[in-house]
Chains A and B, each alone.
Chain A
Amino acid sequence: MKLRKAAALFLAALMLLSLAACGGGGGKDETTDAVAEGETGGGEEGGESTGGTFKLGTFLQLTGANSVAGNESNNTLDMCIDYINEQGGFNGATIEKIVYDTQGSPEEAVKVAARLLEEDVDAIVGSVNSAEILAAGQQINDAGVFMMGLGTANTWMAEDWPYVFRATVNNANLATNTVAMLEEAGYTTVAIVNGQDDASLSTADVFEELCGEAGIEVLTRESYQTTDTDFSAQVASIVAQDPQCVYMTCSGEHIGPFVKQLRQGGYKGVLFSKEIMAMRDAEIAGDDNAKYTAASYPYVIYKDVESCDDPEIKEVLQMYVDRYGEMPTTEVVYRVWDTMMVMWEATKIAGSNESDDIVAAMPEVKVEGLGGPLTYDDGTREGYHTSNDWIYIGDGKNKEFSDWLAEDYEAYKTETGREY
Chain B
Amino acid sequence: MRMLIQLIITGLALGGVYSLISMGYSLIYKASGLMTFAQGDILTVGAFLGLTFYRFLKLPYIVALLLTMAVAFIIGFLLEKGVIRKLLNKNVNAIYIVLATIAVSYIFQNGAQAIWSSKVEYFPSVFSTDSVAVLGVNVQPESLLCIGASMICMILLHFFMTKTRIGTSMRAAAMDSMAAESCGINVSLNTGITWGIAAGIAAIGGIFIGPMYGVYVTLGSKLGTKGFAGAVMGGYGNMYGAMVGGLLLGLLETLVAGYISSELRNLFAYIILIIFLFVKPTGIFNEQAIQDV
Asked whether any CB of chain A lies closer than 8 Å to the CB of B263, the reply is yes
| Residues in chain B near residue A67, CB distance under 8 A | 118
| Residues in chain B near residue A17, CB distance under 8 A | 107, 110-111, 114-115
Asked whether any CB of chain A lies closer than 8 Å to the CB of B278, the reply is no
| B208-232 interface bits toward A, Cβ cutoff 8 Å, 1 = contact, 0 = none | 0100111011110111000000000
| B231-269 interface bits toward A, Cβ cutoff 8 Å, 1 = contact, 0 = none | 000000000000000000000011111100011011000
A239 CA / B109 CA spacing, docked (Å) = 34
Asked whether any CB of chain B lies closer than 8 Å to the CB of A176, the reply is no
Asked whether any CB of chain A lies closer than 8 Å to the CB of B138, the reply is yes
Closest 7 interchain pairs by CB? A233-B257, A7-B82, A21-B110, A232-B10, A17-B111, A240-B3, A266-B138
If A7-B82, A227-B222, A288-B130 touch, whether A237 touches B118 (CB-CB below 8 Å) is no
| A252-288 interface bits toward B, Cβ cutoff 8 Å, 1 = contact, 0 = none | 1100110011011110000000000000110110101
Asked whether any CB of chain B lies closer than 8 Å to the CB of A8, the reply is yes
Asked whether any CB of chain B lies closer than 8 Å to the CB of A236, the reply is yes
Asked whether any CB of chain B lies closer than 8 Å to the CB of A229, the reply is yes
29 residue pairs of the A-B complex, CB under 8 angstroms, read A7-B82, A11-B83, A14-B111, A17-B114, A21-B109, A21-B114, A63-B113, A71-B118, A229-B209, A230-B10, A232-B6, A232-B13, A233-B7, A233-B257, A233-B262, A233-B265, A236-B3, A236-B6, A236-B7, A236-B254, A237-B3, A237-B262, A239-B2, A253-B120, A257-B214, A263-B130, A264-B139, A265-B139, A281-B120
B81→A3 contact, CB < 8 A: yes
If A3-B81, A264-B139 touch, whether A234 touches B262 (CB-CB below 8 Å) is yes
Asked whether any CB of chain A lies closer than 8 Å to the CB of B150, the reply is no
Q: Which residue of A lies closest to B80 (CB)?
A: A7
If A63-B118, A253-B214, A264-B140 touch, whether A232 touches B219 (CB-CB below 8 Å) is no
Asked whether any CB of chain A lies closer than 8 Å to the CB of B78, the reply is yes
B window 129-159: CB within 8 A of A: 130-131, 137-140
| Residues in chain A near residue B213, CB distance under 8 A | 229-230, 257
Asked whether any CB of chain A lies closer than 8 Å to the CB of B14, the reply is yes
A228 CA / B223 CA spacing, docked (Å) = 9
A266 CA / B107 CA spacing, docked (Å) = 38
A338 CA / B211 CA spacing, docked (Å) = 36
If A18-B107, A233-B257 touch, whether A256 touches B11 (CB-CB below 8 Å) is no
Asked whether any CB of chain A lies closer than 8 Å to the CB of B122, the reply is yes
A228 CA / B119 CA spacing, docked (Å) = 16
Whole-angstrom distance between the Cβ of A223 and the nearest chain B Cβ: 5
| Residues in chain A near residue B160, CB distance under 8 A | none
Q: How many residues of B contact A (CB 8 A)?
A: 57
A window 53-72: CB within 8 A of B: 63-68, 71
A232→B138 contact, CB < 8 A: no
Q: Which residue of B lies closest to A225 (CB)?
A: B266
A64 CA / B130 CA spacing, docked (Å) = 29
Asked whether any CB of chain B lies closer than 8 Å to the CB of A224, the reply is yes
B window 1-32: CB within 8 A of A: 2-3, 6-7, 10-11, 13-14
| A327-360 interface bits toward B, Cβ cutoff 8 Å, 1 = contact, 0 = none | 0010000000000000000000000000000000
B209→A284 contact, CB < 8 A: no
Asked whether any CB of chain A lies closer than 8 Å to the CB of B96, the reply is no
B118→A280 contact, CB < 8 A: no
Q: Which of A21, A222, A286 contacts B113 (CB 8 A)?
A: A21
B10→A20 contact, CB < 8 A: no
Per DSSP, chain A at the interface is helix
Asked whether any CB of chain B lies closer than 8 Å to the CB of A10, the reply is yes
Q: Which residue of A lies closest to B125 (CB)?
A: A286
If A63-B113, A240-B3 touch, whether A10 touches B262 (CB-CB below 8 Å) is no
Whole-angstrom distance between the Cβ of B120 and the nearest chain A Cβ: 4
If A232-B11, A236-B10 touch, whether A284 touches B78 (CB-CB below 8 Å) is no
Asked whether any CB of chain B lies closer than 8 Å to the CB of A87, the reply is no
A18 CA / B255 CA spacing, docked (Å) = 38
A32 CA / B222 CA spacing, docked (Å) = 40
Whole-angstrom distance between the Cβ of A52 and the nearest chain B Cβ: 35
Q: Which of B137, B254, B258 contacts A266 (CB 8 A)?
A: B137
Asked whether any CB of chain B lies closer than 8 Å to the CB of A6, the reply is yes
Q: Which of B78, B110, B140, B222 contacts A229 (CB 8 A)?
A: B222
A237 CA / B7 CA spacing, docked (Å) = 9
Whole-angstrom distance between the Cβ of A192 and the nearest chain B Cβ: 11
| Residues in chain A near residue B256, CB distance under 8 A | 233
A window 192-238: CB within 8 A of B: 222-225, 227-230, 232-237
A264 CA / B214 CA spacing, docked (Å) = 14
- Of A230, A234, A257, the most chain B CB neighbours within 10 A belong to A230
Whole-angstrom distance between the Cβ of A250 and the nearest chain B Cβ: 12
A228→B7 contact, CB < 8 A: no
Q: Which residue of B lies closest to A266 (CB)?
A: B138
A22→B262 contact, CB < 8 A: no
| Residues in chain B near residue A34, CB distance under 8 A | none
| A43-86 interface bits toward B, Cβ cutoff 8 Å, 1 = contact, 0 = none | 00000000000000000000111111001000000000000000
A236 CA / B136 CA spacing, docked (Å) = 13
Asked whether any CB of chain B lies closer than 8 Å to the CB of A249, the reply is no
A281 CA / B122 CA spacing, docked (Å) = 9
A6 CA / B82 CA spacing, docked (Å) = 8
B82→A11 contact, CB < 8 A: yes
B120→A236 contact, CB < 8 A: no
With A17-B107, A71-B118, A265-B138 known, 20 other A-B pairs at CB within 8 A are: A4-B81, A7-B86, A11-B82, A66-B118, A68-B120, A227-B218, A228-B265, A229-B219, A230-B10, A230-B212, A235-B6, A236-B7, A239-B3, A239-B138, A253-B214, A265-B6, A265-B10, A284-B120, A284-B121, A286-B130
A67 CA / B140 CA spacing, docked (Å) = 28
A window 316-335: CB within 8 A of B: 329
| Residues in chain B near residue A286, CB distance under 8 A | 125, 130
